Amino acid sequence: MKILVCIGNVPDTTTKIRFDNEMKNLDTNGVQWVINPWDELALTRALEIKEQSGGKIEKVSVINVGKADAEPTIRKALAIGADDAFRIDAEPENAYFIAAQIAEVAKQENFDIILAGKEASDFNEAATGSMIAEFMDINSVSAVTSFDFVDGNVSLKREIDGGKETISVKTPFVAIVQKGICINPRIAAMRGIMMARSKPIKVSNPVQTQVLVEYKAFDLPQPKAACKIIDPVETDKLVDLLHGEAKVI
Amino acid sequence: MSIIVFSESRNGKLKKNSLEAVAYAQSIAVATSKPIVAVSVGNVDDQELALLAKYGATKIISVTNQNWLAHDSREYTKLLAEITEKENADTILFSHSNMGKAIAPRLSVRLKAGLISGVVAIPDSFAPITAKRKAYNGAAFQLVSVKSDKAILTLNPNSCEIKENPVNVNIEVYAPKSAYNAETKIESVDVVTGKVILTEANIVVSGGRGLKSGDNWAHIEELANVLNAGLACSRPVSDEGWRSHEEHVGQTGKIIAPDLYIAIGISGAIQHIGGVSGSKVIVAVDKDKDAPIFKYADYGIVGDAFDVMPRLIESFKKFKNL
Ligand SMILES: Cc1cc2nc3c(=O)[nH]c(=O)nc-3n(C[C@H](O)[C@H](O)[C@H](O)COP(=O)(O)OP(=O)(O)OC[C@H]3O[C@@H](n4cnc5c(N)ncnc54)[C@H](O)[C@@H]3O)c2cc1C
Ligand SMILES: Nc1ncnc2c1ncn2[C@@H]1O[C@H](COP(=O)(O)O)[C@@H](O)[C@H]1O
C-alpha cells in the first residue's frame, strides 16, 4: 500500500498578515514558509503507521501544488521522513484547482490512502481533501481524529457532535485529518536532512481545469475598540455590562 | 430556480446553525425572488421541521429512510446532487460545520459549482454571488465571486442577522432515487452526553496555562455550568494532558464563534486568537495587564484567576437567580 500526504506551503503562524496596495496579494516580505500544521501531523502519523505495518505500507509520498519557491517546504517533509515527493508546478489558486491536480497524480500513481489536513492556514478553505475524493470518485472521511492500521485494516475515528464514531472504510480513500491523529509533529533530524538531499522530487505540469470562482480582494478586520478594564472586585459590574451593553447574556 | 439549504439535526432537533442558514437564504431569496427549499435527512418530526418555515423555507424535503441516517460523504453528495436537479436549484447553502465541510466541497466538484467556504456576511451582490469569507485564520477577509452557473456556500456562525419571516410550508417526505451504497461503515459510536457541544455553544469558558494544573479546573467547570457554556482550553493545556484534545481551540484546534468567549489565564497568542476571533464578545481574565489577550478582548479583568473566578461565579449566579 502507498500513502500520499498533501502538504500546503503556508506562512508561519506568527506572520503579520499584510497585503499589497491593491489588496490583492499577500505581502510576502519577510514571511517564513512552513508545512501547514495539520499536514505536518498527517505526515507524522503516516510515517508511524508505515513503521508499524511490517512492510505492508511500502511508501509515504508527499505532494504539493506550488511553484519552485515551495521546494524548501517539500525538502523539509522529505527530511522528516517522506520517501519521495511530487510537485505540480503551478500557483495554488484555490482548492478546486489544487484538488484537480492532486487527484490526477493520485490516480496515475495508484495511491491507496490520501491524507489531507482539515484546512490550509492561508485561505482556510477546508475543501481540498473532499474535492480530491470527488474528482477520483472515491470515499472520503472528514474530521478524522485517530488513524490506525492493524493487520492490513484501516480504522478511523471521526469527530461528530459531542462524540466520536469508529469507521472502517474501503481503500482507496481520502482522510481529512485534524488534531488527535498525533500530538506533536516529527522534527527533522540531521540524518534526515542529509538524506532528503538525494530523495526525488518529481515535478510535473498542471492539467487544465475550469474556473469556478474569482478572488476579488482582501480586506482587513476593523480594529477593535479598546478593552474595557473592570476592577477585579467589581464582577457584578462585568455581568451588568455583558447583559445591558453587550447583550450576550 | 431555487435555493437549497441543507439542514442538520441531532436527536430529532434541528441545529441552530440550520435555522441560521435558512435566515441567510432569505437574504438571497429577497434579492432574487427564488424560493427556499430546506433538505433534512433524519428522523425529524413535522412540527420541528415547520420551524424552518419561520425563517422563510417554503418547502421541506425530508429524507427519513433509515439507510440514509449514517453519514457517508460520497453518498450524501449524490443525494444532494439529485435534489439539486429535482428542485432546479442554482444556490446551495451549508453550515461551515463538520458535515457541511464534508459534503459541500464534493458537491462543488460534482456539479461544477463554485464554492465559497466560511462565508461571514450576506452577499455583497447576487448576480453573480459575491461574498466575503474568512482567510488567514481570521486575520483577513477575502471577497470571492462565483463564475459558474451554480453556487455553493458554507456559512460561518453569525454570518447574518436571524430574522423571522413565517411562510406556509409544504413538507415532502422524499424517497431518494439513488440507492445508499456507502463503502464506509460505522463500527461504533461513542457519544458524550450531558456536555454542551463546544462548536455550537453560545457561551464558551476557556482556561489556559495560567491555571497551573489540570487539577485546578473546578472553577472553570462551575462557571461553565452556571452559564450553560461549552468548555475550551489553550493548546498547551491539552498538550500537557490537563484537558482532552476536544477542548483545544485555536489555529490547530477547534475554531469557534460563540456570542461570548471567556478566556482565563490565556495570554492571547496569535494562534489561539485564530480559533476564537469570530466570537461576538471576548472577556479576558489575566494577571498580566500587558498580556496580548487584552488587545482582542472587549472586557478585561486584570487579576489573579483564583481570586476572580469565585467572585465571577457568584455574580453570574446572582444574575441567573441561582
Ligand atoms: C504552529 C502553532 C500552532 C499553534 N496552535 C495553537 C492553538 O491552536 N491554540 C492555542 O491555544 N495555542 C496554539 N499555539 C501555541 C501558542 O503559540 C501559545 O503558546 C499558547 O496559546 C499559549 O497558551 P496559554 O495562553 O494557555 O499559555 P501562556 O502563554 O503561558 O499564558 C498564560 C497566561 O496566564 C497568565 N497567568 C498566569 N498565572 C495566572 C493567574 N494566577 N491568574 C491569572 N492569569 C495568570 C499569564 O499572565 C499568561 O498571560 C500554536 C503554536 C504554534 C507554533
Ligand atoms: N498547494 C497545496 N498543495 C498540496 N496540498 C494542499 C495545498 N493546499 C492545500 N492542500 C491540502 O489541503 C488541505 C486543506 O486545504 P484547504 O482546502 O486549502 O483549506 C491542507 O491541509 C493540505 O493537506
Q: What is the pLDDT of residues A8-64, one digit of tens each?
A: 999 998 899 999 999 999 999 999 999 999 999 999 999 999 999 999 999 999 999
Q: Region B183-199: what's the mean pLDDT? A: 89
Residue A233: pLDDT band with limits 50, 70, 90: very high
Query: Which pLDDT score, from 0 to 100, does residue B221 have?
Result: 97
Is the pLDDT confidence value at A167 over 80? yes
- Read off the pLDDT of residues B230-280 as tens digits, 9 standing for 90 and up: 999 999 999 999 999 889 999 889 999 999 999 999 999 999 999 999 999
Measure B220 CA to nearest chain A CA, in Å.
15
Q: Supply the pLDDT for residue A60.
A: 98
Q: Is the Cβ of A140 closer than 8 Å to some Cβ of chain B?
A: yes
Q: Evaluate if residue B79 carries a pLDDT over 80.
A: yes
- The pLDDT score that the predictor gives to residue A92 is 96
Q: Which three cell numbers stand for residue B259?
A: 456570542
DSSP structure string for B185-206: EEEEEEE--SSPPGGG-SEEEE
Using the structure block, give the residue that is written with the C-alpha cell 474569482: A214
Q: State the pLDDT confidence band at A223, using cuts at 50, 70 and 90.
A: confident
Instruction: Round to whole Å and give the CA distance between A231 and A125.
Output: 41
Whether the per-residue pLDDT at B5 is higher than 90: the answer is: yes
Residues B113-135 pLDDT 10s:
999 999 999 999 999 999 999 99
Domain locations in chain A?
2-220
Q: What is the pLDDT of residues B143-171, one digit of tens each?
A: 999 999 999 999 998 889 888 989 999 99
Q: How would you class B314 by CB atoms within 10 Å of its CB: exposed for 0-12, middle for 13-18, buried for 19 or more?
A: middle
What is the per-residue pLDDT for A152?
81
Nearest to A173, CA basis, from A106, A88, A105:
A106
Mutate to test the pocket of ligand 2, among A4, A6, A176 (most ligand atoms within 8 A of CB): A6
B174 contacts: CB under 8 Å, gap ≥ 6: B61, B62, B63, B83
Residue A222 has pLDDT above 90, yes or no: no
CATH of domain A2-220: 3.40.50.620
* pLDDT > 90? residue B44: yes
3-state secondary structure of B306: helix
The predicted pLDDT at position A95 comes to 98
pLDDT (0 to 100) of residue B254: 92
* pLDDT at residue A161 in the model: 81
**Stretch among A211-220, B37-46, B186-195 having the lowest mean pLDDT:** B186-195
Residues contacting ligand 1 via CB (< 6 Å): A 13, 37; B 208-210, 234-237, 250-253, 265-267, 269, 271-272, 275, 286-288, 291, 304-306
Q: Which of A32, A122, A130 to mutate to test the interface with B (most CBs of B within 10 A)?
A: A130
pTM for this entry = 0.95
